[in-house]
Copies of this chain bind each other. A is one copy, B any other.
């Protein structure tokens, strides 16, 4: 049996009781540190906390392992109980759907244990979840790669009066171009997009496209470390959020659509004075 267990947002205590029981019963535990982070995945101390809670050793499955060695994980899960730990909810990322598909195809039984993810916990900012349109991802722009296909999506959401959740780029264990050319991988330091970078990229795209999907005075909500004890939520016009220090990762951003009275009441608590 392959258990795919959501760890939720925050720290080791955000696993569910059901998830904890499953993990403790497994003979092998993998933790995926690729699509998401959680301070856990990258901080050795946090990993030790987890191992202590579970009473088991954890193998961190980085990006390469998830993509290249899934077959081995599935082989183990055919004979024994294996847990695959995932930050947030198991279906937050495409990678895990792929894992489930491969498991089912090879006849390995799968049990999914759900948890909170950014997709629902973001409700904490006060904008109602059923009033969001399509979720977008904002990638780090480079000198030569500035993809802006998210622009039409924001435009569509705005036209319909809907809010837009913007997931911000995470770059973990990316090999440097230089090292790839030399044939021996050297990794870039991890990078996490801040609310500030996201907004400045958004404003750049709006200026280039000129479609008035949004502007410097569009109400947005910046969120950092959602679900953690030190989460930070600040609401205000885009240009004002540009200067707010949201602190350590992860960050995400919401572009507000039309707001209802209850939503506005809630946003008041988070507004920049």
Residues of A participating in the B interface, judged by any CB pair closer than 8 Å = 6, 8-18, 20-21, 53, 89-92, 94, 97-98, 100-101, 104, 112, 114-117, 119-121, 123-124, 126, 128-137, 156, 160, 162, 167, 227, 262-263, 265-266, 269
Contact assessment for A8 and B16 in the assembled complex, using a CB-CB cutoff below 8 Å: yes
The docked-state distance in angstroms from the alpha carbon of A202 to that of B8 is 35
* B133 touching A266, Cβ below 8 Å: no
Would B14 and A17 count as touching, CB distance under 8 A?
A: yes
A135 contact from B104, B129, B262, B269, Cβ within 8 A: B129
- With beta carbons under 8 angstroms apart, the residue of B8, B97, B263, B265 that contacts A128 is B97
| Among B14, B21, B94, B104, contact of A269 (Cβ-Cβ < 8 Å) | B104
Assess the B101–A266 pair: CB atoms within 8 A: yes
Q: Identify 15 residue pairs between A and B in the complex whose beta-carbon atoms are under 8 Å apart, listed by A's number.
A: A11-B18, A13-B18, A17-B53, A89-B123, A90-B123, A92-B120, A97-B263, A100-B126, A112-B124, A114-B124, A116-B117, A119-B120, A120-B120, A130-B136, A130-B167
Q: Identify which of B17, B90, B131 contacts A15 (C-beta below 8 A).
A: B17
Contact yes or no, B119 A8, CB < 8 A: no
Most buried by B among A13, A91, A114, A262: A114
Shortest CB distance A108–B (Å): 13
- Beta-carbon contact of A137 and B130 below 8 Å: yes
C-alpha spacing A124/B162, complex, angstroms = 24
Measured between beta carbons, the chain B residues less than 8 angstroms from A116 are: 6, 16, 89, 114-117, 120
Residue ID in chain B nearest A96 by CB atoms = B123
